[in-house]
Amino acid sequence: QSVLTQPPSVSAAPGQKVTISCSGSSSNIGNHYVSWYQQVPGTAPKLLIYDDNERPSGIPDRFSGSKSGTSATLDISGLQTGDEADYYCGTWDRSLSDGYVFGTGTTVTVL
Amino acid sequence: EVQLVQSGAEVKKPGESLKISCTTSGYRFTSYWIAWVRQMPGKGLEWMGMIAPFDSDTRYSPSFQGQVTISADKSINTAYLQWSGLKASDTAIYSCARSPRIGATTNFDFWGQGTMVTVSS
């Protein structure tokens, strides 16, 4: 069971906005940068956001990340059918594991 | 162009050994960490561990410590994941991923295509 909790699923109509939360603790999100990954079924994950709110080259600004305390959030605005995918948060964790941890994952459905 | 190309799908029997590879190109291999990530059927991503090819410094998740071995050959820009005695529960897709750093700022900016490993008698 992951130490980072995400809602199992979120959905919205095309053009709308969805928000995905990632809840952790002081041993992970509270003291380390958060990344977000998109995984379209059957394909490799893709980095969407790093260092809490930075976008790699080529990622549209419809994707934005933020963090407050021990929780992080990924916002997807102007939702498109191509955004249907699983989304995972990730960060370093310095509890017993002292390693990288991924969130439980959230499936985004475009209605 | 940065590329991480993994070896092909494997079908093995319980107890057999296996070594899968991740061959990189398009960047300086020794300047980045390589991680391995497991995804069991229908499940989420699990970080297994990562290696710094420069000096072979390797970190493992406690869940995978002693169960797998991560290695790298910097002469051919390739990282490996190996098992000495596979179990049915090792059936999963295994992906390699590149990270510019380890620790507080770890992130995986390029990924391999994944290797499906099926363990069945």
Q: Does A54 touch chain B (CB under 8 A)?
A: no
- Shortest Cα distance from B22 to chain A (angstroms)? 14
A26: region left, alpha or beta (phi > 0 left; psi from -120 to 50 alpha):
alpha
Largest CA distance in chain B: 42
**Digit-coded pLDDT (tens) for B37-71:** 999 999 999 999 999 999 999 999 999 999 999 99
Parallel/antiparallel/unpaired status of strands B92-99 and B33-39: antiparallel
How far apart, in whole angstroms, are the C-alpha atoms of residue A74 and residue B24? 30
Judge: B104–A104 Cβ closer than 8 Å, yes or no: no
Q: Does A46 touch chain B (CB under 8 A)?
A: yes
Nearest CA to A8 among A111, A110, A103?
Answer: A103
Across residues A22-37, what is the average pLDDT?
A: 96
Parallel/antiparallel/unpaired status of strands A9-12 and A106-110: parallel
Share of residues in chain A with pLDDT > 90 (%)? 92
**Digit-coded pLDDT (tens) for B73-107:** 999 999 999 999 999 999 999 999 999 989 888 99
A96 has a pLDDT exceeding 80: no
Q: Which of B59, B95, B107 is facing A44, going by the closest CB pair?
A: B95
Q: Considering only alpha carbons, which residue of chain A is nearest residue B5?
A: A44
DSSP state of B26: S
Sole residue written with tokens 């699990």: B46
Angle (CA) A108 A87 B108, round 5°: 160
- Contacts B114 to A, Cβ<8 Å: 44
Contacts of A39 (CB under 8 A, 6+ apart): A45, A46, A85, A86, A87, A88, B45
One-character DSSP codes across A62-77: TEEEEEETTEEEEEE-
